[in-house]
Structure 1
Amino acid sequence: MPSTSLPLNVHISSHPCVRAKLSQLRSKETNARDTKALVHEIALIVGCEALAACLENVPTGTAESPLNYPYTTEITTPHVALVPILRSGLGMLEALQTLLPDPVPVHHLGLFREPTSLQPVEYYNNLPYHRPTSVNHDPFPIPPIAILLDPVIATGATASAAIQTLLEWGVKKVVLISVLGSDSGLKRAAEENGTEGVEVWVGGMDGEVDARGMIKPGLGDVGDRLFLTIGK
């Protein structure tokens, strides 16, 4: 059940289909193909809820329908970038690309959790930090919103580190979309910037993490399950 003490910028889906699909995803009997499908489907529903809250439409002009009736054309605003956290965030990427009406930049962040300290270590970052010298043309404009994709928010350390990186890059808002989080992990991620400029949208929440930093009962290691590297 959702915690009554969660920050207001944490949004847990109440969609019955998300809850049913989470139940299926939790099973250790769910194979890699079904795991991929369920992560995609949950990301699609939660992503739809998140984008409805953070995007708006503006009119761009008029066009004609096949019956030659005029109608007003629209685009979504503001511009966004998708940022999956490697590896498991890749399992959510296609769902968000499907929802957005136009192609958007995709930047990747690679972070792993050090087993002893459970602290995040960054090993890959392809955000375009290089700024052009010309003030008239910027081939890599920083979008106002970065949509961060990470299926599991356990301790919240990795999500918090990624949020801080994106805010330091220059985005105004980070929208974190996840499949499942722990109570403490969601709070930590949501409060990374004092709740300012951060929104967290998640399919479900479990109460706690174990000594290894894994959510109980949780989903296991989603990256391992997606890419069949369990037991590496």
Structure 2
Amino acid sequence: MRVQVVEHPLIAHKLTQLRRVETSSNHFRQLTKELVMLLSYEASDSIATEPITITTPVTETEGTQLSGPTPLVVPILRAGLGMLDGMTSMIPTAEVGFLGMARNEETLDIITYAERLPDDLTGRHVFVLDPMLATGGTLAEAIGFLKRRNAAEVTCICLLAAPEGIARLEEEVGDLDVDLYLAAIDERLDENAYIVPGLGDAGDRLYGLAE
């Protein structure tokens, strides 16, 4: 597994605004979209391409286009939905699937309650979207799910991660072809498995349910 923290002044600035408790849901959604666009630019560096001959208004020339099979973008419900617009803005030809996963707040076990994905992902490059990598359980389960369907490559995009979550991913999926792109690695998890300093519950803040 390869971990990449994308360092850029715009990412640092937007993440700081995202963390602020006074940031409104509307602004939070816009910042999330912009951050995902910046992260996905780096995360798509290995996406498959092929040469193509095109005609400009002046002459023929050689260009580049994305090659098949079509990339698949998989947001993890529900907070991952807030990242989808930014990702599809960058790769509009990508197909979109969904994984519904939730953490049992008492046992911290991961429950898969919904999925809408092709049965066979052979040869597919899959981009997984989940804002917060906390304990690592959800993302590890999602990666395992996709690999069992023969995904060729899995690239995960998260806004924030805790060291504990990264360590768990490395332990559980470290031998698989997985890339993890982050805006930042925070200090730790608290006793409730929330990232510190973090930004709160991303799903609640995206959809206007934060206290």
Q: Tell me if TM exceeds 0.5.
A: yes
Residue aligning to 1:31: 24
Residue aligning to 1:162: 142
Partner secondary structure for residue 170 of structure 1: coil
Aligned 1:52-67 pairs, distance under 5 A? 52=45, 54-60=46-52, 62-67=53-58
Residue aligning to 2:94: 104
Amino acid across the alignment from 1:50: A
CA distance in 1, matches of 2:106, 2:152: 33
Q: Deviations over 1:64-100 (max 9, x none)?
A: 1123x11123212453100000011111111111112
The alpha carbon displacement at 1:154 in A equals 0.7
Using the TM superposition, name which of 186-195 and 108-117 deviates more: 186-195
Any unmatched runs of 5+ in structure 2?
Answer: none
Structure having the higher Rg: 1
The alpha carbon displacement at 1:193 in A equals 2.2
Any unmatched runs of 5+ in structure 1?
Answer: 1-6, 132-140
Partner secondary structure for residue 192 of structure 1: helix
4+ aligned runs moved over 4 Å, structure 1 = none
Report the TM-score, using the length of structure 1 for normalisation. 0.85
CA distance in 2, matches of 1:143, 1:127: 14
Amino acid across the alignment from 1:30: T
The alpha carbon displacement at 1:195 in A equals 3.7
Aligned 1:183-194 pairs, distance under 5 A? 183-194=163-174
Does the aligned pair in 2 maintain the 1:78–1:145 contact within 8 Å?
no
Report the TM-score, using the length of structure 2 for normalisation. 0.93
Residue aligning to 2:108: 118
Does the aligned pair in 2 maintain the 1:148–1:176 contact within 8 Å?
yes
Does the aligned pair in 2 maintain the 1:190–1:200 contact within 8 Å?
no
Instruction: Give the % identical residues.
Output: 31
Partner secondary structure for residue 103 of structure 1: coil
Residue aligning to 1:71: 61
RMSD value, Cα: 1.6
Partner secondary structure for residue 30 of structure 1: coil
The alpha carbon displacement at 1:118 in A equals 1.3
Amino acid across the alignment from 1:210: D
